[in-house]
Structure 1
């Protein structure tokens, strides 16, 4: 349910469970975490999905069985954040719930115009993963973070772009091409130089 394409120095990691809106199981979270650890040697990582939804968050049956509060979510987002290379979330559709953590941890986020963004964790009776509100607030500010996490708002791609939650809206057919184009300069640069610039950006 996770596919990996290692093309030269760029790894493309794809959520591949479109019949279930790429809802994440414990097995998928574990594999994603392990892939991100292994990708420490890659110059760039692109995270995307198949179908019309990037991810609906936790698989409902797995969530009821305890996945909603699993440390795997935080372990995954921390592994993404720790990548020394450039990380790009190429969002092929809606991003919801705990799946938002791995996208927030990426260096950049590009999205198709039809995507929607929401994180109904409070309504479901759970806390968000510890790093998610901080990363979201760093991108869009505390009030807008509360709009999503406490106000229960679903925002569309245009609003997400205005907020700064995503960095660019692209046509679906160009999503991966544009993500790959964003990696070209980093892959061509000296690794130490690219790493230092990434660290300087915060």
Structure 2
């Protein structure tokens, strides 16, 4: 109200988890889906009248897991794949009305204090998989650089932003040859 309008909605609330897929209960799947997808849907619906009026932007923060599942992250990839599908659906239906929808798929974000995710269930997973990025062999991304890339992508009204960009090649390979894609994911995660 103070600024008089809403131009951008950034859906960034969410969380990851660590554990084997078979150790993840249906209730844990539901709870994570509620936070990572349903909360995003609720916020988007609430902001939509204002955003459509201004040809505004919806920025949905996904993950590399929005494009490729990984080991030892329980329900997380399923929720982030759903965010990717919802983002595409919004683009297809509301893009012609002027809405810009950006799906951001970042790798692990740099944090000043390193942290380990707690294990959910009885999973026996590698220590590296408990770190941000679930053991993926990528450098962390500086938050300032990611923010600048998001702003550029909004100005250019791009549909997707994958950081680091080199990971796009893996997603392309996996789309054409899932067996090779799975092998590459296994090889490049802890």
Q: TM-score when scaled to structure 1? A: 0.36
Q: Larger % of strand: which? A: 1
